[in-house]
Amino acid sequence: MVFAQLQRPAMVIGKYAAILFYLTFALFPLYWLLKIAVTPDRLIYSDGTRLWPSEFTLSNFTAVLFQTDFLSYFTNSLVVSLGTAGLTTVFAAGAGYAFSRFNFGGKKIIIAVMLITQMFPLLMIIAPIYKVVASLGLLNSLTSLIIVYTAFNIPFATFLMQSFFDGIPKDLEEAAMMDGCSRFQALRKVILPLTLPGLGATLGFVFTAAWSELLFALMLISKNDTMTFPVGLLTFVSKFSVDWGQMMAAGVLALVPSCLFFIFIQRYLVQGLTSGAVKG
């Protein structure tokens, strides 16, 4: 419908060229990651720029899984990311609902403050947070990471949830309230089930963000047994004298959860942004 002219032959060729270009650009680095992970160590250098590995092996994967602390990093990251995603989604759903359904004193200020938190250099608050966490004795704890990540993700998640709530007619909970539900009951029983795609998108979005976070994890965690995946993987560099094959194998494994989540959410994400608030 849009861009009807794109049906002309020259346009069609151009379009498929563009499709090919974007696919190559997006996937080539990931392909290379996978290629190095399945190349035997002794061939990594001699295979160098070959597009296809001359020999396959899964030994990097088995080595990572059974001879390194990978599983512990992976579990820590999973705990942190799931905890963060769960908490953030619940709190952001509440805040997004309040923005969508109420007019109240200070609303504009709170929205402005949330926007501002997206603007200032997070590095600015790294030092104070470090000192606070240290003085509470929470360094090297997954709890402190979950709390920090949750706070960081709430603003964007709130705007996202608000746009999903804006897409649901107000009459629905009003009808439920007429029938004797309290507002909270109406939210829980009528509105939230309708926002499931939005909740899913927010959950997935925050999960991926927490899964990749490096700087705060680097700063707050220095003990091996509470390291999250990004920090643990970086220590591969020094600890195992850059075992590239294992590192890339670990990387491929780390990609699995966030990619699965992401493929699942990206449709809802476009849908949610279309319906409202983030349009600015």
Partner 1 sequence: MITRKHIVTEPGGHRARRSLYWQYAVEPFFYLSPAIILIGAVMLMPLVIGISYSFQSIDLLRPFNTGWVGFENYTKLWSDRKFWLALENTFWWTFWSITLQFFLGLGLALLLNTQFYGKKLFQALVFLPWAVPTFLSALTWAWLFNPVIGPIPHWLAALGVLSEPYNILGDPDLALWGPITANVWFGVPFFAITLLAALQSIPGDMYEAAEIDGASAWQTFTKITLPFLAPMIAITVMLRTIWIANFADLIFVMTGGGPASSTQIVSSYIFTTAFRKLDFGYASAIAVALLGILMVYAVLLLVLRKKLVKV
Which residues in the 156-215 window bind partner 1 by CB under 8 A?
158, 170-171, 174, 183, 208, 211-212, 214-215
Residues 224-253, interacting with partner 1 (CB under 8 A): 229-230, 233-234, 244, 247-248, 251
Task: Pull the structure tokens for residue 29.
Answer: 């680095």
- Spatial contact of 37 and 58, defined as CB atoms under 8 Å apart: no
Q: Helix crossing, 59-67 with 70-101: angle to 10°? A: 80
In the bound complex, what is the minimum distance in angstroms from residue 226's beta carbon to partner 1? Answer: 17
Q: Total residues contacting partner 1 (rule CB under 8 A)?
A: 100
The residue type of 60 is N
**Alpha-carbon gap, residue 136 to 94, rounded angstroms:** 28
In the bound complex, what is the minimum distance in angstroms from residue 209's beta carbon to partner 1? Answer: 10
Site membership for partner 1, residue 52 (CB under 8 A): no
Interface residue with partner 1, options 124, 137, 180, 241 (CB under 8 A): 124
| Residue among 48 and 193 whose Cβ is closer to partner 1 | 48
| Residue among 65 and 218 whose Cβ is closer to partner 1 | 218
x-or-dash pattern for partner 1, window 54-73, by CB under 8 A? --------------------
Site membership for partner 1, residue 223 (CB under 8 A): no
- Spatial contact of 84 and 146, defined as CB atoms under 8 Å apart: yes
In the bound complex, what is the minimum distance in angstroms from residue 246's beta carbon to partner 1? Answer: 12
Site membership for partner 1, residue 137 (CB under 8 A): no
| Residue among 72 and 91 whose Cβ is closer to partner 1 | 91
Task: Pull the structure tokens for residue 141.
Answer: 């704890």
Phi/psi of residue 252, nearest 5 degrees: -60, -45
Q: Where are the alpha helices (DSSP H) in the chain?
A: 9-38, 44-47, 59-67, 70-101, 107-117, 123-135, 142-166, 171-178, 183-186, 192-194, 196-212, 215-220, 229-239, 244-274
Interface residue with partner 1, options 68, 150, 195, 226 (CB under 8 A): 150
Site membership for partner 1, residue 123 (CB under 8 A): yes
| Residue among 121 and 193 whose Cβ is closer to partner 1 | 121
Site membership for partner 1, residue 279 (CB under 8 A): yes
- Specify burial of residue 201 (Cβ count, 10 A radius: 0-12, 13-18, 19+): buried
